[in-house]
Amino acid sequence: MRTTSKKTVSLEEESSIMEALQELPIYLISDQPTVCPECGLRTLVIGDFFHTNSKSAIHQCEEDRYIFIEQVDEEFE
Ligand SMILES: [Zn+2]
């Protein structure tokens, strides 16, 4: 079996990630830069899934450690 070093997320991996993510609050973000919904300060992207079908990213607030999902508002382009 050939192994590749390509860093892509398989569909299986993606769905298990998205399953875990369903526990987190989702925010539709159309403003940049993304800020924490709790305190309004800048956040850190800890997971980037914009290249997948989910079109989302996981953010964590640097201030209060609040974790949430940023999802792109499809109608805002
Ligand atoms: Zn915060």
Q: How far is the CA of 12 from the centre of ligand 1 (A)?
A: 31
Residue 4 confidence class, pLDDT cut points 50, 70, 90: low
Helix (H, G, I), strand (E, B) or coil at 30: coil
- Tell how far the Cα of 73 is from the centroid of ligand 1, in angstroms: 21
pLDDT, tens digit, 9 for 90 and up, residues 38-76: 999 999 999 998 888 888 899 999 999 999 999 887 765
pTM of structure: 0.68
* Distance (Å) from CA 34 to ligand 1 centroid: 11
Question: How many Å apart are CA 50 and CA 14, to the nearest integer?
Answer: 12
Q: How far is the CA of 38 from the centre of ligand 1 (A)?
A: 5
Q: pLDDT by residue (tens digit) across 8-32?
A: 778 888 787 777 777 899 998 877 7
- Rounded to the nearest angstrom, the distance between the alpha carbon of 35 and the centre of ligand 1 is 8
